[in-house]
Amino acid sequence: MPTIEELRQFQSLPLDIKIRLTEDRINEYVRVFGIDNVCISFSGGKDSTVVLDIARKTYPNIKAVYCDTGLEYPEIKQFVKSFSNVEIIRPKMVFADVIKEYGYPIISKEISEAIYAVRNNTTCKGTIDKMYGNCRNNTQERMKKLNREGEYSGNSRYNYSKYLPLLDVDFKIGNRCCSIMKKQPLKSYSKKTGNKPIVCTMADESLLRTHIWLKDGCTIWEGKNTSCKPISFWTNQDILQYIKENNLPIASVYGEIVETIDGNAEQMCIEGCGNKLKCTGCQRTGCMYCGYGAHLEKQGEKRFVKLKQTHPKIYDFVMNGGGYNEQGLWQPTKEGLGFKYVLDTLNKIYGKDFIEY
């Protein structure tokens, strides 16, 4: 199995070497399965735009697949439609129904999964469960995690016990939205067509994705989860640098790529810039309604604040609406998703402006 030291070594490589390694991984994947039997999992975001560009330099007709969840920025969907040979698929459930069934996505996938498992006394089902070992004692393990006991005591980079109050809130919390809205449609597509996906995720995006890389590396060659993740050892700075150096178009919701100087002042990045790069618009896109990591965002990068400014009608639907069901649990209504109540509850528990909106 790969080690964290190996991952850090890969991440520290210069971009030109990373590009060659990525090309090698794509070439090997295509060689094994054939060009007609692989596809790019294309989200329209900047990461998958880079992968598609690298792949199509060698394989101009390689297929891309876009999952239209209804949660993407309108600019992302418009950008996706500007590409040829992109097949569009859709999930079976709408997001409001996923929330009603499984809960709101808040704090992180790991925390929301733990809260859901304890509140529902679930058994092992997904990647997170399997990473922590004993699936038969899933609920007990999650409770230990939230209490910082057992194997989690002193080993966790987060204080999970601070989220114990979320066991008692009057709305569901869960981590199944990504699986239902994105992963399941893509798995169904792969099963139906036989196409093996090239996935555009990076290990440095989250602790969970780091764990997955340590478990699987860049490519899974066998089984129902066969996939290639050719930029998994890249960083966000690599992505931005590649886009600048190759003058690569990206979705307009990102704005321009600029260079930050001394962490404050900004100027347009010119060739050869060596300081940290960032986008003037969204730093990451993903799902507009996602609450994961919203409490960690810096001033000027608050996703819900920006959504209010850039897409006010969508913001109103996300925040407004909501009501109690027969079991006394807050959930979406036809008027909106009811996020305002959820965020207000978090701010009452953890202090004013824990999550700004």
pLDDT tens digits along 10-44: 999 999 999 999 999 999 999 999 999 999 999 99
Give yes or no for a contact between 99 and 117, defined as CB atoms under 8 angstroms apart.
no
Q: What's the pLDDT at 209?
A: 85
Q: What's the pLDDT at 162?
A: 84
Give yes or no for a contact between 287 and 72, defined as CB atoms under 8 angstroms apart.
yes
- Average pLDDT on 329-356 reads 96
Looking at residue 259, its amino acid is E
Give yes or no for a contact between 94 and 70, defined as CB atoms under 8 angstroms apart.
yes
Cα 241 to chain centroid distance, Å, stands at 21
State yes or no: pLDDT of 126 exceeds 60. no
* pLDDT bucket at 204, cuts 50 / 70 / 90: confident
- Average pLDDT on 65-76 reads 95
- Token readout for 107 is 């704090």
pLDDT, tens only, 326-339: 999 999 999 999 99
- Per-residue buried b or exposed e for 231-245, using 16+ beta carbons within 10 Å of the residue's own CB: bbbbbbebbbbbbbe
- The answer to whether domain 4-93+177-235 has CATH 1.10.3720.10 is no
Q: Where are the domains of the chain?
A: 4-93+177-235, 106-168, 294-357
